[in-house]
Structure 1
Amino acid sequence: MRNWIPLIGQLQDYDLRQDMKSDLNAALIVAIMLIPQGMAYAMLAGLPPVMGLYASTVPIVIYALLGSSRQLAVGPVAMVSLLVYTGVSGIAEPGSEEYIAYVLLLALMVGVIQLLLGLLRLGAVTKYISHAVISGFTSAAAIIIAFSQMDSLLGTDLGESKNVFIIMIEAVQNIGNIQAETFFIGLASIVVLFLMKKYTPKIPGPLTVVVLSIAAVQLFNLEQTGVEVVGEIPGGLPGLTIPAMSADAVLTLLPIAVTISLIGFVESYAMAKVIATRERYAVHPDQELRALGAANIGTGFFSGFPVTGGFSRSAVNYDSGAKTGLAGMMTAVFVILTLLFFTSWFYYLPQAVLAAIIIVAVYGLIDVKEPKHLWQVKRADAVTLAVTFIATLAVGIEAGIITGVGFSLAVFLYRSGKPHMAELGYLESEGVYRNIKRFPQAKTDDDKLIIRIDAPIYFANMAYIEEQLRHYMLEHPRLTHVIFDFSSVNDIDAVAVDELEKWLDHHGSRGIRFYFVTVHGPVRDIFKRAGWDEKFAGSLYYRDLNEAHKAASSDS
C-alpha cells in the first residue's frame, strides 16, 4: 500500500502537534496564493475563473495521496494553461460550452497518457528532452504568457493572436484606446507584487493586491468607468462531469495532450527533485507520473483543466514548513470552503489584477543566465536553446517545442556521427599514453599507430571512423602496426562489426597487423559471436597499451 499510496508512509511517524501545525500553516499560505492564481490561470486558458478553483480541489487531494513528493504543490500553472489555450482555441471559441467540453476531454487524455507512462515505467522518457530545449521553451512561453495578458492590462481589445510581435504592433496601434483606470490598476498591482516579493516575501502579495483592488473598485465605482471585473462566480462544489469523447476530437487533441503530459511532468518532477534532494528523501519518476495522471483524470471528471506541480507554489509550500501531503489536502479544503462560502467576494475583482498576477508569476521563468552559461560551457547547447526560444516566439508553442526537440536530436545525431578520436603517443615523464594534440611531447613511432575511439561504434559513425583512420594512415607511410584503444568503446553494433572486419581484412592483406586493447565485456561478447576469436586470434584483448606495444615491437 505504501508503494501505491506514499502518503501512508509519510504519516508513519507523523507528529500531530508539530507536523500538523506546520502542514496547516503551509496549506493556508498556499491556498491564499492559489485562489487568485487559479482564477487567473483559468482565464489564461480561456476558461471561466471558477474552473481554476475547481482544478484546485480534487486533483490536489489525489496527488497528495499518490505523489512521492511531500511538498510539491499541484494545481493550475501558467505554462500548462497557455498550452491548453493554444491547443483548444483553434477548434472552439474560448469560454464556450464546446470549448469547455474539449478542455475536459484534454484533461482526461493528459491524465491517461501520464498514467500509462507511469504504469509502463517510462518516466525516463523525459530525459531525452534536452535541458537547453526546456530552458529556451520556458523562457519564450513566459514572454508569450505575459504578452497574452496585455489586453486585460491595457483595457483594450488587441485581437486573438498569441504571437508576441503581432500583440506589440496591436498595442502600439491601439495606444489611444487604453482604459486609463484599468492600466493604472494593473501597473500598480505589478509594482506592489514585485516590491512585496522582494521586501516582504512572507506576506502573500497576490492576496494583498486582490483585497486592495476589490476595495478600490467598490469604493470608487470603477466598474462603471470601464474597468472589467470578474463578475459573478458560481458557488458550490464542482459536480461530476463525463467528458464527451469522439475519435475526431481525440485525434485533434492528441498532439497537445502529449505535449502537456511531457512538459507538465518535466516541470513538476524537476521541482519535486530539488526539494527532495534538500530534504534527503527519494522521489520516483514513475510514481510521479502515476500521481499526476490520476490527478488529471480527476480534474477531467470534476470540471477542471490540466494541472501539474508549480515552481513558485511548491517553493512557498516548502518554505512555509509543509511536512507531508496533508498540506496539499488542507489546501484543497481551504479552496472548497472558498467555493462554498466566499465566491461572492470576488465579484469586483478587476481582470487587470489577475493579469498582473500572471505576469509577475511568469517573470521568474525567464532565465537570462542559462544562455550565457551554456555559451561558455557548450555552444551547441546554447544554439539549441536559442533555436527553441526563437521558434517558440515566432511560430508558436507547439511548433516551438517540436522544433527544439527535433533540433536537439539532430545535434545529438551529428555529435554521435562524428565521435572524438585521438592518436596516442608515449609520455615518458608520466609513463602513460596521451593524445598527441594535447601533449605534443608524447613520442610516436613511424611504423606504429595508436588510436583511441571515444564513443560507441555503430552504423551511423562507422564511415566517419574509417575516414579518420585513412587520414591517420596517410600520415604514417611506413605504417605496419595499428593499435586500437577500446577503453572508451562500450558498445558496437553488428553493422559496425561487419564494416570494421572488412576494413581489417583489406589492410591486413597489405601487411598491416592490428591489436585491440581494453575491450570491454559487452563488446568482447559481440566480437565472439561474430567469430573474431578465431579470425583474429592473438590480436584481441590486450590488457593495456604497454602490452600491445611490446607485442607490436616484437612482431616488427
Structure 2
Amino acid sequence: MQKPLAGLNRKNIARELTAGVTLLAIAIPLNIGYAQIAGLPPTAGLYALIVPTIVYALVVSSRQLIVSPDAAAAALVASSIGGLATAGSADYATLALAQAIICGILFVLMSVFKLGFIANFLSKPILVGFVGGLALDILVSQIAKMLGVKIDSGGEFVDKVVGLVTGLGTTNPWSLLIAAVSVAVLIVGQRFLRLVPWALIVLIVATVVVVLADLDDAGVDVLGEVPAGPPAFTWPVIDWSMWLMLVPSAIALTMVTTAEGLLVSRSYGEKNNYTTRPNRDLFAFGVANVAAGASGSFAMGSSTSRTAAMDQAGSRTQLPSLVLAVGTLLLLLFGTALLADIPSPAIGAIVGVAILPLLGIRDFRMLWRVDRFEFAIAAVCFLVTLFVGSIAGIVVAFVLALINLAKRAANPPIDVLAAGDSPAESLLGEAPVGTMTAPGVIVIRLAAPLFFANGSVFDDAVKKAVKAVPEGTVQHVVIDMEAVTDVDVTGAESFTALVAWLDARSIELEFSRVRPDARERLTDLGLLGDRRIFDTNRAAIAGLSSTPQQ
C-alpha cells in the first residue's frame, strides 16, 4: 500500500511547505466565495479546508490532485437544495451536509465495485456544456455582487438576469470601483506573475480601503462577522424522504467530480512519472465528502486550477494540503476578525475571474471547428443546464452520451479489402486498407463488434459490395473477423438474413482471422457450421480464387 505523503523527502520539504503557503493564499478567498455561491456561510467553505482535506491527503493515491469545493459543485448545491429550503437557513445547511454524505457514500461504492469507468460517459463536449451552463449562472450572481445590485442568487437564471438588468439603476459606484480594480489586478497579475497570490492581495488591499474610508457606510457590502473556532463534528438529522430527494443531485455531483478528478489525477501522474490508482482516488473522494458532511461543510470535488498552481510551484506531494489545513485552522482560531470587513465586490471579482475559464468559450470554438455534432451536444447541455436546471442538465448529458455512442457504434468502419476484378475503393466510396484483387472473391472487414446497432449497416455494406460488380461475378464473400470481438443475438439475426441473401445468389460465405472468443460465439449462435476459416486474407483469396467458377 502506498504510504501517505508519497514523494516527500528532505530535499523537497522546504519547497512543499512554501507551496502550501501559496495554496493557503489561493484557497481561503476562493472557498469563502464558493460557500456564498452555495448559499452557505463563509465557515462552510473554510471548514472544507480542514478535516476533509486532511483525510483526503492521507488516503489519495495522486500526489498532486487538490480536493475542495469548486464553482461547479457550489452551483449544483445551490440549484439542487434551493428548491427544498431557504438559502442561509439551518434546514438548508443541514441538507447540504446530508448531500455531501450521500456523495461520499456513492464515491465509496464506486470504489468498492470499481465503477469509475461510468464517468467515461461524460465526454468532453458534455462536460464543457454542463460546466459552462453552471459557470454562466454563477457569473450573473457575481456581477450583481460586484455592482452592489441586490438579486435573488438562489433563483432561476432568467430571474437573475432580469433582476440584474432592472437593478442597474441601484449600482453602488464604490462597489463598481472596487470590483473593476480587483478584476484588472487579477487578470493582469495572473498574466505576468502567476505565482503571486493575487486573490489574497486583492482581498487585503480592498479590505484596508473599505476600513480606512468607511465604505461600508457608503453602501458597500462586507462579509460580516465570521464565527471563530474549529469545525464541530455533527450528523445531519432529516427525514428519509429528504435523503431520497437529495440522491439525484448527489449523483450529478459524484459523476462530474469523478470524470474531472480522475482525468486530472491521471494526467499529472503521467506528466510527473508516478502511478495513480483510480479506485483509491474515488475512495479518497468518498471519505473526504463524508468528513465534509460531518464537519459543517458541503460537497467536495477536485480543483483543477489549484492543482495546476501547485504543479507550477513545483509541488509533487500532498504536504501543501496539510499546510492548508493547519493554516485555515489557525485562521479560524485566532484571525476571524480579519475577515469581517472583506468587501463583497472583491469576493465577487475573485470568483468571477476564477470561473471565466469554465465558460468554455475556447472549447466551444474548437468543437464548432472540428465536429459540429459534438458542438451541438455541448450546446444542448449548456442550454438545458442554464434554463432548466443542473439535474436536468446531467440527465440530458447522459442521454446525449448514449446517443453519441450509439451514433458512432452504428456506423463502424467497413473496409473492402479485395473485390472481384475491381479496385476496392470503388465499392464503398472509402479508401481501402489493401489493394488486393482476385476473381470471384470479395473480402470485407468490419472493424467493430457486430451487434444490434450496426447489424443492418453491415448487412447493407456487404450487399452494396456484391452489387457493385457485374452480376454473377462473385462466388465467395470472406468476412475478415480480426476486429470483431463479439456478436450479439440481433447481430446474428442480421447475419443469418445476409447468408440467406447470399445463398439465393449462389455465393458462399467464409471467414478469415477469427478471434478465439469470436469463434466460440459464432459457434454458439449457429453461424459457423462447416464454413471455412482462413488464417489470413491472402490465404482466403489464394484458396478461393483457385476454386473453379461455377
TM-score band, normalised by shorter chain: over 0.9
Q: Find the aligned partners of 1:21 and 1:278 in 2 and give their Cα distance.
A: 22
Structure 1 partner of 2:49: 56
Structure 2 partner of 1:546: 538
Tell me, yes or no, if the aligned pair for 2:125 and 2:378 is still in contact at 8 Å: yes
Q: Find the aligned partners of 2:430 and 2:412 in 1 and give their Cα distance.
A: 17
Q: What SS does the aligned partner of 1:460 have?
A: coil
Tell me, yes or no, if the aligned pair for 2:415 and 2:430 is still in contact at 8 Å: no
Structure 1 partner of 2:9: 15
> Which residue of 276, 280, 284 maps to 2:277?
284
1:518 partner amino acid: R
Q: What SS does the aligned partner of 2:4 have?
A: helix
User: After superposition, where does 1:513-528 map in structure 2 within 5 Å?
Assistant: 513-528=508-523
> Which residue of 494, 507, 527 maps to 2:489?
494
Q: Is structure 2 residue 233 aligned with structure 1 residue 205?
A: no
1:549 partner amino acid: I
2:395 partner amino acid: I
TM-score, length basis structure 1:
0.92
Cα distance per residue 1:223-282 (max 9 Å; x no partner): 111111111100000111111142211111100000111112222222222222221001
Does 366-375 or 455-464 show the bigger shift? 366-375
Does 294-303 or 196-205 show the bigger shift? 196-205
2:541 partner amino acid: H
For residues 317 and 439 of structure 1, do their structure 2 counterparts lie closer, same or farther at Cα, with a shift above 3 Å needed?
closer
For residues 488 and 379 of structure 1, do their structure 2 counterparts lie closer, same or farther at Cα, with a shift above 3 Å needed?
farther
Cα distance per residue 1:153-199 (max 9 Å; x no partner): 22122334654444333322222111221122122211111111112
Cα distance per residue 1:212-233 (max 9 Å; x no partner): 1111111111111111111110
TM-score, length basis structure 2:
0.93
Q: Find the aligned partners of 2:94 and 2:286 in 1 and give their Cα distance.
A: 19
Cα distance per residue 1:450-491 (max 9 Å; x no partner): 322222101232233223333333334223322222233222
User: After superposition, where does 1:20-39 map in structure 2 within 5 Å?
Assistant: 20-39=13-32
Structure 1 partner of 2:145: 152
Q: Find the aligned partners of 1:107 and 1:282 in 2 and give their Cα distance.
A: 28
Q: Find the aligned partners of 1:80 and 1:474 in 2 and give their Cα distance.
A: 56
Structure 1 partner of 2:225: 232
Structure 1 partner of 2:389: 396
Cα distance per residue 1:310-347 (max 9 Å; x no partner): 11111222222323222211110000000000000111
Structure 1 partner of 2:347: 354
Q: How many residues align?
A: 544
1:306 offset after TM fit, Å? 1.0
Structure 1 partner of 2:327: 334
1:384 partner amino acid: I
Q: Find the aligned partners of 2:34 and 2:431 in 1 and give their Cα distance.
A: 58
Cα distance per residue 1:480-529 (max 9 Å; x no partner): 32222223322212342244234324532542211212212211111233
User: After superposition, where does 1:370-389 map in structure 2 within 5 Å?
Assistant: 370-389=363-382
Does 448-457 or 471-480 show the bigger shift? 471-480
Structure 1 partner of 2:356: 363
Q: What SS does the aligned partner of 2:533 have?
A: coil
Does 444-453 or 75-84 show the bigger shift? 444-453
Unaligned residue ranges in structure 2 (runs of 5+): none
1:504 partner amino acid: V
1:385 offset after TM fit, Å? 1.9
Structure 2 partner of 1:244: 237
1:71 offset after TM fit, Å? 1.7
Q: Find the aligned partners of 1:172 and 1:517 in 2 and give their Cα distance.
A: 68
Q: Is structure 2 residue 304 aligned with structure 1 residue 311?
A: yes
2:495 partner amino acid: L
Q: Is structure 2 residue 113 aligned with structure 1 residue 116?
A: no
Tell me, yes or no, if the aligned pair for 1:56 and 1:76 is still in contact at 8 Å: no
Q: Find the aligned partners of 1:191 and 1:142 in 2 and give their Cα distance.
A: 20
Tell me, yes or no, if the aligned pair for 1:148 and 1:162 is still in contact at 8 Å: no
Structure 2 partner of 1:503: 498
Does 350-359 or 383-392 show the bigger shift? 383-392
Q: Find the aligned partners of 2:141 and 2:216 in 1 and give their Cα distance.
A: 22
Q: Find the aligned partners of 1:506 and 1:364 in 2 and give their Cα distance.
A: 56
> Which residue of 432, 437, 447 maps to 1:454?
447
Sequence identity of aligned pairs in percent? Answer: 27
User: After superposition, where does 1:105-184 map in structure 2 within 5 Å?
Assistant: 105-160=98-153, 163-184=156-177
For residues 423 and 324 of structure 1, do their structure 2 counterparts lie closer, same or farther at Cα, with a shift above 3 Å needed?
closer
Structure 2 partner of 1:529: 524
Q: Find the aligned partners of 1:202 and 1:464 in 2 and give their Cα distance.
A: 55
1:520 partner amino acid: R
